[in-house]
């Protein structure tokens, strides 16, 4: 699938060859190669944390790669800074626009131009140029309008014009349609197509499969910091892409005890909840987690997993539907009530939500325990004892109890967090991407801990991106797509391909029969 | 974490002790110097001044500091110190105490707000003489002093009344206290003595010293049609505002013509020096009494600044005539009939307001546009 | 060799660095101001010596330093409690004024009450009035995420003008010749002082509040919630803490403590309400809280330091140094301390312009 690159090949706008970028403890990009032709709309597809952002940050001069090279129009370049990248014709539209709200479109465009050269700009000339630019690419926009007066789609246009004005030949758009209405999205792709026709290259970062399939020419899929491959859009399908994204991993030999599922620990019935943007993120979700069972949640990131976890933990309000914990109605729970009901939540954002970076281990252990202490005082000696016990029990490498936990490595952080969450024997653990970013050893430990909870007859809700992971760990898997449950399957009864099809939005019955 | 913070506190306190020890030594040395100086000047009488504003402000405190310098020049056997920018709250008491305990025999406290602290500190230092400007409380060792600035206000009002074209005059005023109200009234009476149709618009700034606010207040008055700006503030900012607009102004405290040469007609100016000399001499001669001195223009404690070139001869002659009458005691500013803003006669024909009445002025005379909150 | 100075983020903020940087900054501030004093023809050592002598050289100087430190301490504690939760209460000045107002109301309404009744009433009303002034901006902050920095700041002006209205208007002393002062408080409304000094019971109150503040933060569940909320509101929410309730509570108490500062100042020092009772205590408090790194016990200490700086500042004037010397000195110290903050998080390194 990967196209070979030759040094003489001038048919590419940009080539990134063997790019490797390491951060402390993580290899964000591992030998990624990737190339875009002029006139091409190229999608970069991958889960959160797959390495897309890092790769694009390298291309826009924000990071420098540890290994590998970048060629622009066949010439090797060393991008020194974002400004350098802009000057070489690389421009990026970020998810969060970088516009000054109280300025006009023209003034915003002017802003980026000022180079400290003391050059005087003629606003009316700029206006003319902007209008010409808008006409050429079919981007309608009044240069005199103030940014705050514009809709989100128009603001995006302003960002794009800003890049075009600065002479960008390669435009990178980070999740451009996430904030747009479907009409605006169609409009945007028309514009992008027009730019491609005029010889520019466009890279679109996305994880919306249908959109990518409809509007792009080629698709590169990243997974876990590696490039899975590049495919021509015309020759691929949603299923293939899903598989490329979620990947295959060998199922390790797990000491998975035979546990008879007990009574339902958690039951959701027709639960609907809103996402951060105020749109429904969970739609009529019905599912059950039984004691002694791991229920896996499969789905492409951003399909309601986070909202599901937060609804269960009481952090997000339920619009309609019912939530039962141990057969008691807990629909209107506050986070505190959920904790008291025995719900433990391992958030995706470990350091910042699950743990407080600047507090020490004892204080972080206390976070979920202080409310259980009698009276209004903190029992520090008990907290210290419990902390020591947790550290010992899970073999957490920690220099000093007094040191802020941000000094801990990722694996030890997760062990501390999980250790705390299971310390009081919760009824239900909701674990969101608990293995992400960890090394093999830590992954093993976390798996073992979750299986122990299961063996103790408690419920586990495991949200993961790795299908293999889920099929190894989970007793049943609920597949999510756009906030809906596409079906609940037993891993031994279906193939990974079937789950992939369901993740792409087909109901279980359709998926089973279709394959 | 806790240990660490306790550590900070400990270390800081240690450092402070070290710093005190170190600088303390330096301090002792300097007092040693002072003492040696003291021995040389043992005969010198120490006199201290407390100012509410900075001495360089061309305003109230500046005028007192001119008086202090005059005193030092006239009486070589007097040594003066001053403390400037002393707020009228908790700090005044401490500064006064410190000055008294450092051997000053006469202390001039030059702002109204020092009244209570002066009385309190005076009790603790019975052999120090305290002179409090503008106040009304006395004690065996506390006297008060002030000048009849309203007389000069009235005269400057004549110049302003002759100068105005629009018959609207503006007055930038600090606080609605009797001293300021009295000045506004005297000025208005002066204006209307030559120009019965003129009105004086008052804007309160609620600050003694804030050039920006004062200037804005003056501008707003100029925008509403005033063509002469008078003021009771501590900076020349209102004068400058008038100058910028090509209008006229009446200064206060000191001759402000250098700040706005084309605008300043004249203005009341203080001349504390001779009074300070007189008072210090009286203390030295043991003839000092705790009187409440309110000096008239005849004593020269208050005067008007030299006229600007735009002031006509007619106005000058009128002013000189009135001045003569005031100096001779034939007439004073607040002589009836005087009507208030509602037209009610408050001072009957032929009557004169008493000092007590003038010192607690809380109403405006006819012709003033403005309000005193009550 | 090509190279240049570079800022490098510190992996950890080391203890010694956090302690030494502010101290070092103070010293640099003194040196910096010393240069100016020296250039203007005076001996900086003499100036500093006189300041220390004025502030600490005599029993009276020390007592006055303490007097000055009391309102600074109380307002410093007030703002640091709010800052602990990342609530930027810039409104201690206004809360101080409202506290003074509330206490004055009691003093003027019940002048005949004995001290044991009147003083607690004044204290309570001072707390309540200041507390309400803190609570008002907390409500939009908690429920609509309205930035409290702006609202608390603007409420200062309202409070100051509110008090002005009363001292220029309804509460003006009838015997005060129309000056902006209330009548002097009755005997029962005056906080007792120690001996002949002006050090009043407010000191004990301030120290007590500092101790309680320390204890609450360190040893109570609620204090723990404040600390967590300040570090990470998301984690606080996750751990089931009632963030909104805590915002309201903290701002109420913060405003209330600043109100107590206002109460002690009118009751013990000015002994009546008057225009301009605070020479900016509420703003100096922010700097004190910052310097003390929000630690209640350190605030006590830094307040004394600042009290000394202010008192010493006036006493050097009697030796012929203009008031501006002190203003410059204070400005220089603050500038360097706030500027020096960067060194606790970054270190300056000399390095080649290589790839990282």
Q: Specify which residues B78 forms β-bridges with.
A: B45
Q: Which residues on chain A are in Cβ contact (under 8 Å) with C223?
A: 378
Q: Judge whether B171 and B187 are in contact, CB under 8 Å.
A: yes
Residue A514 confidence (pLDDT): 52
Is residue A58 a contact partner of residue A64, using CB atoms and an 8 Å limit? yes
Task: Output the pLDDT for position B38.
Answer: 43
Chain position carrying tokens 């005031």:
B326
Mean residue pLDDT of chain A comes to 85
Q: Which one of A19-33, A98-112, C156-170, C173-187 scores highest in mean pLDDT?
A: C156-170
Please state which CATH number belongs to domain A14-246.
3.40.50.300
The SS3 assignment for A111 reads helix
Tell me the fold of B149-267+305-369. Answer: Rossmann fold (3.40.50)
Is A425 exposed, middle or buried, given 0-12, 13-18 or 19+ CB atoms closer than 10 A?
A: exposed
How far is B239 from B247, CA to CA, in rounded Å?
9
Where are the domains positioned within chain B? 43-147+274-298, 149-267+305-369
Inter-chain CB proximity A355 and C228 less than 8 Å: no
Determine how β-strand B129-133 pairs with β-strand B142-147.
Answer: parallel
**For A49, left (φ over 0), alpha (ψ -120 to 50), or beta?**
left
C-alpha span between B113 and C131 (Å, rounded): 29
Chain A residues 28-67 with CB within 8 Å of chain C = 64
Is residue A48 pLDDT above 80, yes or no? no
What are C253's two structure tokens?
């108490």
What angle, rounded to 10 degrees, do the helices at C148-168 and C92-109 form? 30
- Residue A342's SS3 state is coil
User: Cα separation of A34 and A50, whole Å?
Assistant: 14
Taking the alpha carbons of A348, A352, A358, A363 in that order, is the dihedral positive or negative?
A: negative
C286-342: pLDDT as tens digits = 988 988 888 999 999 989 988 888 888 887 877 777 777 777 877 887 788 778 877
Q: Cα–Cα distance between C226 and C217 in angstroms, integer?
A: 7
For residue A101, pLDDT beyond 90: no
Distance CA A284, CA A308 (A): 11
Q: What is the mean pLDDT of residues C90-108?
A: 96
Render each residue's pLDDT in chain B as its tens digit; 374 residues.
444 444 444 444 444 444 444 333 333 333 333 433 444 445 689 999 999 888 877 789 999 999 999 999 999 999 999 998 888 877 888 899 989 988 999 999 998 889 889 999 999 999 999 999 988 888 999 999 999 999 999 999 999 999 999 999 999 999 888 889 999 999 999 999 999 999 999 999 988 888 899 999 999 999 999 999 999 998 899 999 999 999 999 999 988 888 899 999 999 999 999 999 999 999 999 999 988 899 999 998 999 999 999 999 999 999 999 999 999 988 899 998 999 999 999 999 889 999 888 888 889 999 999 988 65
- Residue A397 exposed, middle or buried by CB count within 10 Å (0-12, 13-18, 19+): exposed
**C180 confidence band (pLDDT: 50, 70, 90):** confident
pLDDT at B26: 35
What integer pLDDT is reported at residue A103 of this predicted model? 87
At C5 the pLDDT is 66
**Cα(C198)–Cα(C201) distance, integer angstroms:** 10
CA C346, C348, C353, C354 dihedral sign is negative
Task: For chain B, give the percent of residues with pLDDT over 70.
Answer: 88
C-alpha Rg value of chain C to the nearest Å:
22
Using the Cβ of C174 and the Cβ atoms of chain B, whether some distance falls under 8 Å is answered with no
User: How many Å apart are CA B55 and CA B47, to the nearest integer?
Assistant: 17
Using the beta-carbon criterion (under 8 Å), do A353 and C235 form an inter-chain contact?
yes
Instruction: Let me know how long chain A is.
Output: 515
Q: Which pLDDT belongs to residue B177?
A: 84
A469 alpha carbon, distance to own chain's centre: 17
C158: its two tokens:
């309202």
For residues C267 and C37, which has the higher predicted lDDT (pLDDT)? C267
By Cβ distance, the residue of C270, C298, C318 closest to B9 is C298
**B371/C contact by beta carbon, under 8 A:** no
**Which residues of chain B are within 8 Å of residue A359 when distances are taken between CB atoms?**
1
Residue of chain B minimizing CA distance to C172: B374
CA separation for the pair A133, A158 (Å, rounded): 11
**pLDDT class of C112 with cuts at 50, 70, 90:** very high
Q: Residue B314: beta bridge partners? A: none
Q: Which residues 6+ apart lie within 8 Å of A437 measured at CB? A: A25, A26, A49, A410
Q: Which two tokens stand for residue A164?
A: 């075009």
**Cross-chain Cβ contact A352/C219 below 8 Å:** no
Query: What per-residue confidence (pLDDT) applies to B202?
Result: 95
The answer to whether residue A387 neighbours chain B at the CB level (below 8 Å) is no
pLDDT at residue number B367: 93
pLDDT at B14: 44
| Confidence category of residue C229, pLDDT binned at 50, 70, 90 | very high
Q: Chain A partners of C222 at a C-beta cutoff of 8 Å?
A: 376
**Alpha helices in C201-242, H assignment, sequence order:** 202-219, 221-231, 233-238
B280 contacts B45 by C-beta, under 8 angstroms: yes
Interface size A-B, in CB pairs within 8 Å, comes to 6
Please list the residue range(s) of chain A that carry CATH number 3.40.50.300.
Answer: 14-246, 250-342+426-515
DSSP letters spanning C320-352: T--HHHHHHHHHHHHHHHHHHHHHHHEEEEEEE
Structure token digits, residue A477: 């898997």
Q: Which CATH class is domain A250-342+426-515?
A: alpha beta
Q: Within 10 A of A217 (CB to CB), how many other CB atoms are there?
A: 17
Please tell me which of the candidates C12, C219, C234 has its beta carbon nearest to residue A353: C234
What pLDDT was estimated at residue C6? 64
Strands (E), A106-212: 170-174, 201-206
pLDDT of amino acid C12: 56
Our CA angle for A223, A227, A233, nearest 5°, is: 95
Q: What is the pLDDT of residue B373?
A: 67
Q: What are the tens digits of pLDDT across the range A385-408?
A: 999 999 999 888 887 788 888 877
Question: Does residue C174 form part of some domain?
Answer: yes
Taking the domain B43-147+274-298, which CATH number applies? 3.40.50.2300
A356 CB neighbours in chain B (<8 A) are: none
Within an 8 Å CB–CB cutoff, is residue A335 touching chain C?
yes
Is the separation of the CB atoms in A468 and A445 below 8 Å? no
Nearest to B4 among C15, C51, C172 (CB): C15
Distance in angstroms (rounded) separating the CA atoms of residues B273 and B285: 18
In the predicted structure, residue A215 carries a pLDDT above the cut 80: yes
Residues 265-284 on A with a CB inside 8 Å of C are none
Taking residues A3-17, report their average pLDDT: 66
Mutation for testing the B interface, residue in C14, C17, C19, C300 having most B CBs under 10 Å: C19
First to last CA, chain A: 24
The per-residue pLDDT for C81 is 95
For residue B337, the cross-strand partners are: none
Interface of A with B in 330-349 (CB under 8 A): none
Nearest CA in chain A to C11: A407
DSSP strands (E only) in A210-347: 218-223, 226-232, 264-274, 280-290, 293-298, 320-325, 328-329, 343-346
CA Rg, chain A, in Å? 25
Tell me, yes or no, whether C56 lies in a domain: no
Asked if A377 lies within 8 A of C242 by C-beta distance, the reply is no
Interchain contact A363–B (C-beta under 8 A): yes
C chain contacts of residue A359, beta-carbon cutoff 8 Å: 227-228, 231
| pLDDT score at A439 | 65
Strand order in A67-72's β-sheet?
Answer: A26-36, A14-23, A67-72, A75-77
Cis status of the peptide bond prior to B337, with omega within 30 of 0? yes
Q: Which token pair is C141?
A: 């902050």
- Look at residue C176 and tell me if it is in a domain: yes
pLDDT(A469) > 90 = no
Least CB-CB distance to C224: which of A313, A352, A366?
A: A366
Give the separation between CA A287 and CA A463, rounded to whole angstroms: 14
A75: β partners? A72
Return d(Cα B317, Cα B321) in angstroms, integer.
6
Q: Cα–Cα distance between B180 and A233 in angstroms, integer?
A: 85
Alpha-carbon separation of residue B333 from A284, B265, B361 (angstroms): 89, 20, 14
CA atoms of A241 and A221, how far apart (whole Å): 8
* C274–B contact, CB cutoff 8 A: yes
**Closest-CA residue of chain B to C317:** B83
H or E stretch at B12: helix B2-40
For B153-183, give one letter per residue: b (16+ CB within 10 A) or e: bbbbbbbbbbbbeebbbbbbbbbbbbbbbbb
A255 near B CB under 8 A: no
Contact state of A360 with B3 under an 8 Å Cβ cutoff: no
Nearest CA in chain B to A402: B1
Residues of B in contact with A360 (CB under 8 A): 1
Q: What is the mean pLDDT of residues A411-425?
A: 89
**Chain B residues with CB within 8 Å of chain A CB:** 1, 3-4
Pairing, β A14-23 against β A67-72? antiparallel
* Helix or strand run (H / E) with residue B171: strand B168-173
For testing contact with chain C, the best of B85, B178, B204 (most C CBs within 10 A): B85
Q: Cβ of A364 under 8 Å from any chain B Cβ?
A: no
Contacts of B1 in chain A (CB under 8 A): 359-360, 363, 402
The rounded radius of gyration (Å) of the Cα atoms in chain B is 24
**Inter-chain CB pairs, A–C, below 8 Å:** 71
The pair of structure tokens assigned to A122 is 């003629």
Residues 6 or more apart from C93 whose CB is under 8 A from it?
C75, C156, C159, C160, C278, C280, C281, C282, C283
d(CA A106, CA A266): 55
**Closest to B86 in 3D by CA, of B64, B109, B102:** B109
d(CA A193, CA A42): 11
Q: What is the pLDDT of residue A49?
A: 66
Residue with tokens 């603050």: C334
Inter-residue contact A222 to A44 (CB < 8 Å): yes
- Numbered residues of chain C with Cβ closer than 8 Å to any chain A Cβ: 11-12, 218-224, 227-228, 231-232, 234-235, 237-242, 355-356
**Does the pLDDT at position C30 exceed 80?**
yes
Average pLDDT over residues A339-367: 91
């Amino acid at each position: 699938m990967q196209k070979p690159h030759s040094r003489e090949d001038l048919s590419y706008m940009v080539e990134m060859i063997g790019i490797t970028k390491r951060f402390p403890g993580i290899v964000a990009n591992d030998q990624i190669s990737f190339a875009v032709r002029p006139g091409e709309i190229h999608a970069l597809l991958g889960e959160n944390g797959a390495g897309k952002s890092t790769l694009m940050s390298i291309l826009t001069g924000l990071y420098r790669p540890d290994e590998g090279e970048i060629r622009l129009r066949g010439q090797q370049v060393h991008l020194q800074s974002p400004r350098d990248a802009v000057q070489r014709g690389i421009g990026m539209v970020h998810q969060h626009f970088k516009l000054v709200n109280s300025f006009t479109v023209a003034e915003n465009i002017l802003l980026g131009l000022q180079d400290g050269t003391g050059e005087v700009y003629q606003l009316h000339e700029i206006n003319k140029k902007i209008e010409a630019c808008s006409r050429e690419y079919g981007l309608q926009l009044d240069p005199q309008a103030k940014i705050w007066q514009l809709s989100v789609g128009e603001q995006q246009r302003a960002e794009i014009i800003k890049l075009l004005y600065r002479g960008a030949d390669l435009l990178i758009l980070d999740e451009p349609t996430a904030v747009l209405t479907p009409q605006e999205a169609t409009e945007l792709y028309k514009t992008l197509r027009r730019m491609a026709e005029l010889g520019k290259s466009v890279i679109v970062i996305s994880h919306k499969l249908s959109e990518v399939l409809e509007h792009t020419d080629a698709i590169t899929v990243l997974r876990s910091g590696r490039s899975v491959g590049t495919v021509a859009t015309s020759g691929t399908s949603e299923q293939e892409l899903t598989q490329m994204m979620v990947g295959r991993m060998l199922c390790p030999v797990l000491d998975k005890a035979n546990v008879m599922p007990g009574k339902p620990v958690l039951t959701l019935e027709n639960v609907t909840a809103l996402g951060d943007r105020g749109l429904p993120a969970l739609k009529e979700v019905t599912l059950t987690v039984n004691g002694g069972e791991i229920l896996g949640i499969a789905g492409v990131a951003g399909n309601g997993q986070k909202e599901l976890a937060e609804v269960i933990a009481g952090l997000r309000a339920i619009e309609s539907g019912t939530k039962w914990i141990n057969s008691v109605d807990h629909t209107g729970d506050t986070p505190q009530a959920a904790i008291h009901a025995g719900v433990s939540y391992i958030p995706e954002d470990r350091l910042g939500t699950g743990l407080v970076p600047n507090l020490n281990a004892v204080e972080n252990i206390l976070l979920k325990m202080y409310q259980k202490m009698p009276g209004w005082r903190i029992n520090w000696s008990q907290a210290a004892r419990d902390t020591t016990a947790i550290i010992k029990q899970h073999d957490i490498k920690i220099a000093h109890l007094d040191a802020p936990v941000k000094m801990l490595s990722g694996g030890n952080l997760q062990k501390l967090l999980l250790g705390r969450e299971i310390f009081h024997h919760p009824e239900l653990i909701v674990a969101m991407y608990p293995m992400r970013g960890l090394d093999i050893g830590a992954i093993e430990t976390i798996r073992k801990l979750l299986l122990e909870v299961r063996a103790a007859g408690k419920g586990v809700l495991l949200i993961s991106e790795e299908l293999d992971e889920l099929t190894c760990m989970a007793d049943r898997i609920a597949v999510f797509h756009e906030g809906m449950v596409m079906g609940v399957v037993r891993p031994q009864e279906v193939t990974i391909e079937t789950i992939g099809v369901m993740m792409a939005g087909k109901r279980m019955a359709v998926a089973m029969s279709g394959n | 974490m806790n240990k660490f913070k306790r550590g900070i506190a400990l270390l800081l306190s240690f450092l402070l002790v070290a710093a005190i020890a170190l600088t303390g030594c330096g301090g002792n040395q300097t007092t040693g110097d002072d003492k040696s100086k003291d021995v040389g000047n043992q005969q010198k009488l120490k006199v201290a001044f407390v100012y509410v504003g900075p001495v360089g402000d061309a305003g109230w405190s500046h005028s007192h500091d001119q008086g202090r310098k005059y005193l030092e020049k006239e009486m070589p056997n007097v040594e003066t110190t001053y403390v400037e920018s002393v707020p009228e709250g908790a700090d005044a008491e401490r500064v006064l105490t410190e000055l008294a305990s450092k051997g000053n025999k006469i202390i001039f406290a030059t702002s109204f707000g020092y009244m209570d602290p002066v009385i309190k500190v005076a009790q603790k230092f019975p052999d120090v003489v305290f002179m409090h400007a503008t106040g009304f409380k006395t004690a065996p060792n506390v006297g008060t002093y002030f000048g009849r600035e309203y007389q000069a206000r009235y005269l400057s009002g004549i110049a302003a009344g002759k100068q105005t074209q629009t018959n609207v005059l503006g007055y930038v005023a600090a606080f609605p206290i009797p001293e300021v109200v009295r000045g506004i009234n005297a000025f208005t009476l002066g204006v209307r003595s030559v120009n019965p149709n003129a009105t004086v618009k008052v804007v309160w700034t609620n600050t003694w010293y804030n050039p920006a606010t004062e200037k804005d207040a003056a501008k707003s008055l100029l925008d509403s049609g005033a063509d002469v700006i008078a003021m009771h503030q501590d900076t020349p900012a209102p004068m400058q505002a008038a100058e910028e607009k090509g209008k006229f102004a009446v200064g206060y405290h000191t001759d402000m013509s250098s700040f706005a040469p084309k605008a300043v007609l004249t203005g009341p100016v203080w001349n504390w020096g001779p009074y300070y000399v007189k008072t210090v001499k009286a203390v030295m001669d043991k003839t000092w009494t705790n009187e409440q001195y309110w000096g008239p223009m005849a004593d020269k404690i208050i005067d008007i600044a030299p006229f600007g070139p735009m002031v006509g001869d007619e106005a000058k002659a009128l002013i000189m005539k009135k001045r003569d009458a005031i100096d001779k005691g034939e007439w004073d500013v607040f002589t009836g009939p005087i009507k208030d803003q509602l037209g009610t006669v408050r001072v009957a024909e032929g009557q004169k307001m008493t000092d007590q009445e003038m010192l607690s002025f809380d109403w405006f005379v006819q012709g003033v546009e403005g309000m005193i909150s009550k | 060799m090509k190279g240049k100075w570079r800022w490098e983020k510190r992996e950890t903020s080391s203890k010694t660095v956090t302690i030494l940087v502010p101290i070092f900054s103070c010293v640099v501030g003194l040196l910096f101001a010393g240069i100016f004093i020296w250039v203007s023809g005076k001996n900086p050592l003499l100036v500093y010596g006189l300041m220390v002598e004025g502030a600490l050289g005599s029993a009276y100087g020390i007592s006055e330093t303490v007097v000055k430190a009391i309102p600074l301490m109380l307002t410093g504690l007030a703002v640091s409690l709010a800052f602990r939760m990342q609530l930027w209460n810039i409104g201690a000045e206004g809360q101080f004024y409202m506290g003074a107002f509330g206490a004055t109301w009691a003093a003027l309404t019940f002048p005949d009450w004995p001290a044991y009744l009147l003083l607690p009433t004044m204290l309570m009303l001072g707390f309540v009035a200041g507390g309400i002034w803190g609570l008002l901006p907390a409500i939009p902050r908690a429920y609509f995420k309205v930035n409290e920095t702006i609202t608390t700041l603007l409420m200062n002006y309202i409070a100051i003008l509110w008090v002005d209205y009363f001292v220029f208007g309804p509460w003006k002393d009838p015997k005060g010749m129309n000056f902006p002062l209330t009548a002097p408080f009755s005997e029962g409304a005056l906080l007792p002082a120690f001996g002949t000094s002006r050090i009043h019971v407010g000191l004990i109150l301030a120290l007590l509040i500092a101790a309680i503040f320390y204890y609450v933060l360190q040893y109570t569940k609620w204090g723990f919630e404040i600390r967590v909320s300040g570090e990470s509101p998301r984690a606080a929410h996750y751990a089931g803490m009632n963030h909104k309730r805590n915002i309201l509570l903290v701002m109420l108490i913060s405003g209330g403590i600043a109100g107590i500062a206002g109460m002690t100042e009118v009751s013990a020092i000015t002994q009546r309400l008057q225009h301009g009772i605070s020479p900016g205590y509420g703003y100096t408090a922010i700097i004190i809280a910052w310097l003390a790194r929000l630690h209640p016990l350190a605030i006590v200490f830094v307040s004394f330091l600042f009290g000394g700086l202010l008192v010493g500042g006036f006493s050097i004037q009697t030796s012929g140094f203009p008031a501006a010397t002190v203003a410059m000195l204070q400005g220089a110290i603050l500038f360097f301390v706030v500027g020096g903050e960067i060194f606790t998080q970054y270190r300056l390194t000399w390095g080649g312009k290589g790839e990282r």
